[in-house]
Amino acid sequence: MSKSVSVEELKAKAKELRIKILQTAKSAGSGHFGGSLSSADIFTALYFKYLNVDSKKPSMPERDKFVLSKGHAALAYVPCLAMKGFVPMESLESFNHYDSAYGMHPDAAKISGCDASTGSLGHGLSLGVGMALGDRYQNLKTKVVVLMGDGEQNEGSVWEAAMAASHFKLNNLIAIVDRNQFSIDGNTEEIMSLEPLDKKYEAFGFKTIGCNGNDMSELDKALAEAWTEKEKPVCIIAKTEKGFGVKRFQGTVEWHYGAMDIEMYKEALADIEAL
Ligand SMILES: Cc1ncc(C[n+]2csc(CCOP(=O)(O)OP(=O)(O)O)c2C)c(N)n1
């Protein structure tokens, strides 16, 4: 963790990341806007303050590990890795093109700094449990962070992994749920209700922390608390807005995935600039 980074600096980075998300989607022709924009602040806080990672040593054993369980948010993840120097910035132009290293979902074999190939929802927490156990066995003082979607909580495998995390008392594991209220085709509470989600994770043996995941100050406090936990795995339930930052995409399921025309692109950029 790099304590010297201020909330204001993180906010500026989050804005930069949102612009990169739009530019990357424009080159790709389409993208998962909703869940990428909702989680942009989470990516920023993790990569620019909390995760101990180094683009010059992407495989160093003592790095913190990150698993993007909601792999469709690669539209935020890959630009964030580019901003951290793991992948060349200009290569974002190839995102989701034929033969590119970057598809709509991340491939760990092709992306420097990426610890897990994901896209099929429901597997990231299990991967994180394995990584957290592995690091503990090797006596590494690391954290393993898993970012999941709220719609993703419908997958039974999430709860098997949660059971294992508390059984093994994985105090080095931090799960984050991007609680943007929508899945692919509707509100989570109508599709398969999750609430009270915090109580469910608590019952599974986690310490839970709630925060506004689009408010950098709250997010920073939640992550700081999670980083110091000594007893249990932690679950941060980050309340966010799907599509946050772009008025047309915000608070709706319509732009979970989509394609912008040039006018929409200009309008979206202006919205982010005004944040
Ligand atoms: C196992 C599996 N089933 C279905 C899908 C298709 N899918 C892609 S995104 C998505 C919705 C996920 O919703 P949520 O987890 O809330 O993501 P977010 O809103 O953060 O984008 C679905 C069902 C998938 N990727 N994997």
* Cβ-contact 24, 81 below 8 angstroms: no
Position in ligand 1 atom list of the atom nearest CA 242: 19
Domains of the chain (ranges; CATH) run 7-251+261-273 (3.40.50.970)
How far does the centroid of ligand 1 lie from the alpha carbon of residue 121, in Å? 6
Residue in 39, 183, 257 to alter for ligand 1 test, most ligand atoms within 8 A of Cβ: 183
Residues with CB under 6 A from ligand 1: 34-35, 38, 70, 72, 119-122, 149-152, 178, 180, 182-184, 242, 256
Residue nearest to atom 22 of ligand 1 (CA): 184
Of all protein residues, whose CA lies closest to atom 21 belonging to ligand 1?
A: 35
Encoding tokens for residue 111? 């992306």
Specify the ligand 1 atom closest to the Cα of 153: 15
- DSSP per position, 154-210: GSHHHHHHHHHHHHTT-TTEEEEEEE-SB-SSSBHHHHS---SHHHHHHHTT-EEEE
Q: Is there a cis peptide before residue 196, judged by omega within 30 degrees of 0?
A: yes
The protein residue whose alpha carbon is closest to atom 9 in ligand 1 is 184
Q: What is the pLDDT along the chain (275 residues), one digit of tens a residue?
A: 666 899 999 999 999 999 999 999 999 999 999 999 999 999 999 999 999 999 999 999 999 999 999 999 999 999 999 999 999 999 999 999 999 999 999 999 999 999 999 999 999 999 999 999 999 999 999 999 999 999 999 999 999 999 999 999 999 999 999 999 999 999 999 999 999 999 999 999 999 999 999 999 999 999 999 999 999 999 999 999 999 999 999 999 999 999 999 999 999 999 999 99
d(CA 188, CA 27): 30
Whose Cα sits closest to atom 10 in ligand 1? 184
Q: How far, in Å, from the CA of 185 to the mean position of ligand 1?
A: 9
